[in-house]
Amino acid sequence: MDPRPAVFCDRDGTLIEDRGHLASPDDVRFYPGTMEALRRLAGEFAFFIVTHQPGVADGILSIEAVERVNAHVMSTLAAAGVAIVATYTCPHRRGQGCACIKPNPHFLRLASQQYGIDLARSFVVGDHPHDTELARQAGARGVYVCTGHGWKHLPELPQGEVVVPDIRAAAEWILSLGQLEEQVLGGRSEVVRAGEIVRRGGIVAFPTETVYGLGASAFDRSAVERVFRIKKRPPEDPLIVHLFEAQQARSLVQAFPAEAWKLARRFWPGPLTLVLPKGDAVPDVVTAGLPTVAIRVPNHAVALAFLREAGTPVAAPSANPFGQVSPTTAEHVREQLGREVDLILDGGPCWVGVESTIVSFCGPQPALLRPGGIPTEWIEELIGPLAYPSPYDRIPLAPGRLPRHYAPRTPLVVSSDLRRVPRGKRVGLLCLRRPPEADHFAAVEVLSQSGDLIEAAARLFAALRRLDRCGLDLIVAQPVPEEGLGRAIMDRLRKASRLVCTRPGFEDHPPEGAL
């Protein structure tokens, strides 16, 4: 049999919650996306778990207890249709000199010999720098997840590591890389065509990890103007310029302050946009005449390959008509703008699901212009406190921050009071977890039954679209905790809610804040 590729998953903090030394199957909590993520990969990859349980060497856990927990994890996954070929445990302490402790590639080599695994086509997914280092030492590719203690170790990661929010995002990242390789090997690379189109002044919708973008060459004034026309976007709202690597920023910015560079090194490729002093080469139409430019390197294999092919920085807003819900699948783009773009690159569903976090380095202090896919907590951990200008603060250099519609057609209110649902109306509910009152609603979208904000963000826009198609009079969105990705979710819900509370029958349903 030909050698197969595999995905080697760390256990705690990657597949299941990291809740200290797990001694009993009763304490196992799977992350909400684990089953779905592994099922998505199951066609192509064999699965292994590689876990470090130093509690055994420290006398806190017995090896039997660890094995019971491992067996429970494997059987639960098997019941969900995911077969784990083997679970490898290192029960030693660092410094004991064992061969099996991460990042030694011992277990991966064993898997390669015993099960015919092709390590060069394999991945290691984990929430510790040892996991990605393990990948490197084994000649595999690493994907770092920010669940568990992942985000705390972010500053220790070497540059260029693939960083994604969770196991679900890791699966999508791996699949997007596979899609790309398939295309390239099949000699029918849409990505090459997309690059040509953009170089010749055309417009391509392309996937990123956040939402789909509508891209034109940033140096082609008339192509950028066409993007504004297609989107019906006011010309005073500038675009983000997308790069395939940070070095490309040289031709675009006048300065790259040290703090901004720190963020770029850590979070690029990723859902972070930096606003920096603009270089002369950037046409005014891109930046709406501002002396600043917004740039980012997206974390999506198809996007990066396309940007490399294009050979030019690509200015792109989200690929939706101005004011409407952002697209998180190629199908969404087809529905809304299908006839107006020259090509839609399909890279599967976006796994972050909310737009990038925007930080400006053009004022006295780094300032958050838009919460998004990188939680502000991670940014502040690296560079200290950000300024949080309110949407009503007059920041002359940030026009896009005025409250504006981001909205489904159906009116939406953000409210935690589900008792005051107007009678005789068809009302839909958008909630994090399903509350007992859900039965009173005509349609219900649950963003994450386990209350996971990463999963909720990834599902937000598609859920809004589905509710919008239900012929409802009103959507009630329950607030989510404003931490991690919750901040971005609440920002989008608030923007979506600006349309409401003026229609007859809803006057008794005051907007958020008044409740």
Interface residues with Mg ion (CB under 5 A) are 10, 12-13, 127, 148
Q: Are 311 and 292 in contact (CB under 8 A)?
A: no
398 lines the binding site for ligand TXA (CB under 6 A)? yes
Find which of Mg ion, ligand TXA, none residue 127 binds, CB within 5 to 8 Å per kind: Mg ion
Burial of 23: CB neighbours in 10 Å, binned 0-12, 13-18, 19+: middle
Question: Cβ closer to ligand TXA: 135 or 496?
Answer: 496
Residue indicated by tokens 């009678």: 423
Closest separation in Å from C-beta 243 to ligand TXA: 11
Binding to ligand TXA (CB under 6 A) within 307-366 occurs at 316-318, 355-356, 358
Our CB check for ligand TXA shows the closer of 314 and 412 to be 314
What angle, rounded to 10 degrees, do the helices at 453-468 and 167-185 form? 70
Distance CA 293, CA 271 (A): 16
| Distance, CA of 281 to CA of 131 (rounded, Å) | 41
Q: By CB under 6 A, is residue 192 in contact with ligand TXA? A: no
Residue 134 CB, nearest approach to Mg ion (Å): 11
| Choice between 139 and 257, CB closer to ligand TXA | 257
* CB closer to ligand TXA, 294 vs 485: 294
> Are the C-beta atoms of 165 and 352 separated by less than 8 Å?
yes
Distance CA 325, CA 408 (A): 6
13 binds, among ligand TXA, Mg ion, none (CB under 5 to 8 A by kind): Mg ion
Q: Which is nearer to Mg ion, 153 or 231 (CB)?
A: 153
Question: What angle do the packed helices 258-267 and 376-383 form, to 10 degrees?
Answer: 130
The least CB distance from residue 10 to Mg ion, in Å, is 4
The item of Mg ion, ligand TXA, none sharing an interface with residue 25, based on CB under 5 to 8 Å by kind, is: none
Distance, C-alpha 239 to centroid of its chain: 20
Pick what 12 binds: ligand TXA, Mg ion, none; C-beta below 5 to 8 Å, kind-dependent.
Mg ion
Candidate ranges 53-61, 71-79, 205-213, 506-514; the one touching ligand TXA (CB under 6 A) = 205-213
Which positions from 266 through 295 interact with ligand TXA, judged by CB under 6 A? 271, 273, 275, 287, 290, 292-294
Residue 18 or 259 with smaller CB distance to Mg ion:
18
- All residues at 6 or more sequence positions from 378 whose CB lies less than 8 Å from its CB, including other chains: 146, 151, 154, 267
Q: What does DSSP assign to residue 42?
A: T
Residues in contact with ligand TXA, shown as a per-residue x/- string from 225 to 264 under the rule CB under 6 A? ------------xxxx------------------------
210/329 with CB nearer ligand TXA: 210
Please choose, from the candidates 349, 424, 379, the residue with its C-alpha nearest in 3D space to the C-alpha of residue 267.
Answer: 379
Residues paired with 475 in a beta bridge: 412, 428
Q: Find out whether 351 and 466 touch, Cβ atoms under 8 Å.
A: no
Measured CA to CA, the distance from residue 265 to residue 319 in angstroms comes to 27
What angle do helix axes 34-41 and 63-79 make, rounded to 10 degrees? 70
Minimum CB–partner distance for residue 184 and ligand TXA (Å): 23
Binding-site ranges for ligand TXA (CB under 6 A)? 208, 210-211, 213, 237-240, 271, 273, 275, 287, 290, 292-294, 298, 316-318, 355-356, 358, 369-370, 397-400
